[in-house]
Amino acid sequence: MELLMPGLGLIFWMTIAFGLVVYILKKFAWKPILLMLQERERQLVKSQSDARRIEMEMTQLSQLRARKLAEGEKLVEQMTIEAHSKAEAILEEAREKSREEARIIISRADETVEAFKKEAMQEIRAQISSLSIDMAEKILEDEFSDRDRNTHYVDMLLDKLVLN
């Protein structure tokens, strides 16, 4: 029963020992422990606010990243459209140049054909005139070989002229 009911002396000395421990703790340990707890609490509050700030910054960065990604996609799309239009313009320009060069080549070919044609016509005329002169010379040589007949022919021509 003694364990269940301690003696009065034991209670007295336990109270004094407890009070002494509380006094020593209050004098030497309580303030540093409270300061350490306050510091820890301040650090926790700061950590929470830093965590919230970092979370907000991460959200902003995520939004910024999404915006930049969208802008980049738009830019790529615009550049693609621009490249296609430039390619079409270059192709159309090349087609037009090809058509123009073909027209020039055809025009030069036509001019060359015309020049060859004129040259051939001149050659043919020269040959025909040469042959005509040769034939006329032979005919006239044959015709004018007889003097009486020539005189008679000239007289007949003069008569016709005078009558007209």
pLDDT one-digit tens code per residue, 22-57 = 899 888 888 888 889 999 999 999 999 999 999 999
Least confident stretch, 7-11, 58-62, 107-111: 7-11
Least confident stretch, 84-98, 106-120, 121-135, 136-150: 136-150
Task: Encode pLDDT of 64-120 as tens digits.
Answer: 999 999 999 999 999 999 999 999 999 999 999 999 999 999 999 999 999 999 998
- Distance (Å, whole) CA 28 – CA 22: 10
DSSP 26: I
Contact between 69 and 62 under an 8 Å Cβ cutoff? The reply is no
Sign of the C-alpha dihedral computed for residues 126, 127, 128 and 129 taken in this order: positive
Asked if residue 141 has pLDDT above 80, the reply is no
- Distance (Å, whole) CA 90 – CA 46: 63
The predicted model scores a pTM of 0.40
128: confidence class by pLDDT, cuts 50, 70, 90: confident
pLDDT in the model for residue 53: 95
